[in-house]
Every structure is written in C-alpha cells, then in structure tokens.
Amino acid sequence: MRRTGSTARGRWPRARRPAPAFTLAELLIVMFLISTLAVAALPSISATMEHMTATGLAREIATDMRYAQTLAVQNGVRHRVSFWEPGQAYAVRREDGGSWTLCTHPITKREWRVALGEHSRYGGLTLKDSQFGADDYLYWDALGSPQSGGFVTFTLGSTTRTIRVAPLSGKITVQ
C-alpha cells in the first residue's frame, strides 16, 4: 500500500523551510539607525545648502554686474549698478544725456530693478554693505573700466558673500 504524501522511494518529504528573511526586530533596528544618522547629518546638510544658495545668488548678481559692464562697452555709454541697502534692491541703469535710465533686463524684458524681498529665489538674502569709492553704485565707462574698485556684501543666514570689483581692470569676483 502506498502512503499518501510519500515520495517514489517511500520516504516522507523534508519539512519546507521558510525562505531566508529579516525579522521585524532586525528591520526596526536598521530603520532606527538610519533615522538617527539622518537626524545627525541634517544640520550639516542644511548649512551646506545655505552656503551653496548664498554663493549661487552672489554669482547671479555678479553676472548682472558683468553684463552691465559688457553693455557699457557694446553701446559706448556708461552703465551703472546701484545698490540700495534700505530697500534691499539693486538696479542697472545707463546714462542718457546726463540722467540715468533703467535698462531692460535681457531675459525678463522688464525694467532691470531687483528687489531682493520680492523674489522667492532671493528669500533671506540681505544686502549688508556696498562701497564703491564714496558711492553706493558702480559705473563702467565705454571701455569697461570702473570708476573705482569696491565691494558689495550679502548675507544669507550665517553665510556671507562679498562681490569685489578690481579698481583698474573691473574684474568681478565672488568671495
């Protein structure tokens, strides 16, 4: 007589072992360790993000300054970038017969006035100081030379960035 459940040789099959897996306790321990490491790394990550954001925004403003210098050379007319600390803003202007007219921004096609508080990407960026000789503006002549060297300083949280303009060459650097 044949036994039910037996194999062809007459032996009972071995008990099926469950597939290898992690226990709930092991999974919880791993999740706890990962979350602890993430919480420990968060301040470092946010400081790095603040540093990168401040540097990026300062470079964007430096690019606007370089573009104003390029416009002065291309058009043969003085151009200036004015910084206004109380209003937390800057503007790019060109000289028109003794007065200064706002330039048109090359991308937005609007007046080239940037109020730091009105743009979400500048959120938290603060204009701290600007000194270009005795003025709070920097202008370039038709040869691209600045009237003087100087700097403008911005802060974002605990990160400070300074845009410097060399007095003779007009070279603009972000520090």
pLDDT of amino acid 91: 96
Residue 13 has a pLDDT of 64
pLDDT along the chain (175 residues), means of 10: 56 72 92 92 86 92 95 96 92 94 94 89 89 89 94 94 94 96
Rounded distance between C-alpha atoms, residue 170 and residue 1, angstroms: 104
Confidence (pLDDT) at 6: 53
Tell whether the torsion through CA atoms of 137, 170, 173 and 74 is positive or negative: positive
Give the pLDDT confidence score for residue 123 in this predicted structure. Answer: 82
Question: Can you tell me the distance from the alpha carbon of 162 to that of 62, in angstroms, rounded to the nearest whole number?
Answer: 10
| Cα–Cα distance, 39 to 133 (Å, whole number) | 47
CATH class in words for 27-174: alpha beta
Q: What was the pLDDT predicted at 62?
A: 96
| Two structure tokens written together for 160 | 């400070």
